[in-house]
A and B are shown apart, each in its own frame.
Chain A
């Protein structure tokens, strides 16, 4: 089966999250497997996991990035979630924050709901879409060696990357899902006083 191991990819991308300008990397994941991947890589307060709000990951990331211009933000999502919020690729590029990168874990299918083929295996190239929307640096990554490079780059540059991953199922890992609790700890990690 072709494609990278998703857990190995995310473990590498999120390795040493404190090794990042301005403070530990802030991560917003998309509904579905990227939430499990990020949790499996190590639950931390600077992770905000979507368990719903499909299509919203990129825009949530933009809201964080605008509010925290000194910090680096990574939106880590899947092809299905990115497709649902495809307009946001245009909106984020139009606003052009200098502290937000996005990684789409692309297995070409809706893995959570029965492995139906997604649009990325039916002709849509999300890296090309992002480039057409105005993202200056886009790439498609297919090797672990390039993932190691991507880990460094997305903490210093504005990158839109599609990572081609295997369709193989991995053990489900369930990070916390209380959105209010996740919000409180995320804000606390940023030093925002509780209301």
Chain B
């Protein structure tokens, strides 16, 4: 029997942290979490047209007494810059899980500029940034980051490195 994917542990950590709303702009690296969220009758799931919507949703969830998490990829961070100041202004906890592009083994150069700038941009906006490079670390890192975000009332981002999620394969290597 194979071990369950690490994403199942991440989802369990979100549940333990009391997350009741999940907003997302789809990314292949988040597909398992998105499936789990949609299968969970005790989770409000909101697919967004752009990532800043998810930041605003989380602010509304806070006002209404619930905790939210935004799933996005690194390119989407650039779409959130003004809005992601909102949790700081409101002194509300905020958690986002970000799959990285444009670093480890990237095929598509269009993903590289925002991927390289992701951590800098988040930090510039006052978001606390953690980075998960291995499946051994990632579940604990999400659990601790959720605890930090919601109990210290600060915005926290966890970056899932491209090495962790695996670079997207566009073309099969020659010989396969």
Contact = CB atoms under 8 A, between A and B. Distances in A.
Interface string B9-21: 0000000000011
B49 A88 contact: yes
A59 B86 CA distance: 13
Contacts of B47: 91, 94
Complex A-B, nearest 5 residue pairs according to Cβ-Cβ distance, in ascending order: A63-B60, A67-B64, A87-B49, A56-B56, A59-B56
Given A67-B21, A91-B48, A183 B60 contact: no
Nearest to A75: B60
B24 to A, nearest CB: 11
B164 interface: no
Is chain A's interface secondary structure helix, strand, loop, or mixed overall? helix
B125 to A, nearest CB: 13
A56 B86 contact: yes
Interface stretch (B88-96, B114-122, B129-137, B165-173): B88-96
Choose among A57, A87, A182, A183 the residue with the greatest number of B CB atoms under 10 Å from its CB.
A183
Interface of B: 20-21, 44, 46-50, 52-66, 68, 82-83, 85-86, 89-92, 151, 153
A183 B90 contact: yes
A67 B66 contact: yes
Given A52-B86, A56-B52, A90-B49, A62 B66 contact: no
Contacts of B91: 179-180, 183
A187 B65 contact: yes
A63 B22 CA distance: 10
A67 B61 contact: yes
Contact of A68 (B64, B68, B153): B64
Contacts of A55: 52, 56, 83
A63 B49 contact: no
A186 B62 CA distance: 10
Choose among B89, B92, B153 the residue with the greatest number of A CB atoms under 10 Å from its CB.
B89
A62 B60 contact: yes
28 contacts: A52-B82, A53-B59, A53-B82, A53-B85, A53-B86, A55-B52, A59-B48, A59-B56, A60-B57, A62-B46, A63-B68, A64-B60, A64-B61, A64-B64, A65-B60, A66-B46, A66-B60, A66-B64, A67-B60, A87-B48, A87-B53, A91-B48, A94-B47, A95-B44, A179-B89, A180-B89, A182-B90, A183-B62
Interface of A: 28, 48, 52-68, 85, 87-88, 90-91, 94-95, 179-180, 182-183, 186-187, 190, 192, 195
A90 B47 CA distance: 10
A195 B153 contact: yes
A28 B86 CA distance: 14
Contacts of A53: 56, 59, 82-83, 85-86, 89
B60 A60 contact: yes
B89 A56 contact: no
Contacts of A59: 48, 53-54, 56-57, 60
A183 B61 CA distance: 11
B111 to A, nearest CB: 21
B63 A48 contact: yes
